[in-house]
Structures are given as C-alpha cells and as structure tokens.
Structure 1
Amino acid sequence: MSDQALAEDRLWSIEDASYYLGVPVQTLYSWRGQGMGPPGRRVGRRLRYRPEDVKAWVAGLSTDVAS
C-alpha cells in the first residue's frame, strides 16, 4: 500500500480494503470463503470493494468484546 490516501471515488482493491481494515489480505480472502467480511465484487479477474460497503460493514459490527 502506498502512502497516498484511499480514494473514495473508486473501487478499492483487496490491498486497499486490507489497509483500511488493518487485517492481512489473506484474512479478507478467508472471510470471503466463509461468507463473512465486507461484500466484494469481481471485476474481471480482480476482487474489488466499494468503500461505502466496507465502512457500512464495519459500522454493523458488534462492539461486544470478550473479556
């Protein structure tokens, strides 16, 4: 991921979504395989995420943390 800010007016790559969420790319692939995580779409052979979908997914996460 480069030092430039994530653009809100384009689809995010899996690397962009990974950077935003602070999780490894492999975690996103794993979540996708389990039917979890933010919704992504195939654009050609590439996996892309709409920034608003990723942010909505984060907003919908439970705030409960196991002690």
Structure 2
Amino acid sequence: MNITYDWNKGVWSNLPLGVKVSKLHKFNALPVQFSGSYEYNFANAAVVPEWSVNLTVKLLFPM
C-alpha cells in the first residue's frame, strides 16, 4: 500500500486500506510466489482509483 499526502493542497491524495494474500509453491526445484491484493482508497478518488485489485506471479531463482 502506498500512502500519499499532497503537501501543496494539504490533503491526502491516496489513503488505502486493503488485504494481501500470497502463497509460495514449488514446481520441482523452482519456487513460484502467487499473490493477490485488494485495496480501497479512502481519500480523493479523482487522483487515484477508488479501489484496486492486483494479481502477481513471481518466479524465484535461488542462487
């Protein structure tokens, strides 16, 4: 979550609250992380979206 305050206007432009869930799964020796998150913005919706959903897949290459 990224919280943003506009110092020039003196207001919050992004004030999110959300939840994130992630799972690490191994395909043979390759670990892969799956995650999903939902955020609701309580501040000005004109600057940033009112709500957002993110889905992420990360391939992890161990050294």
**Normalized against structure 1, the TM-score is what?**
0.21
**Larger proportion of strand:** 2
**Larger proportion of helix:** 1
**Normalized against structure 2, the TM-score is what?**
0.21
Higher gyration radius (CA) = 2
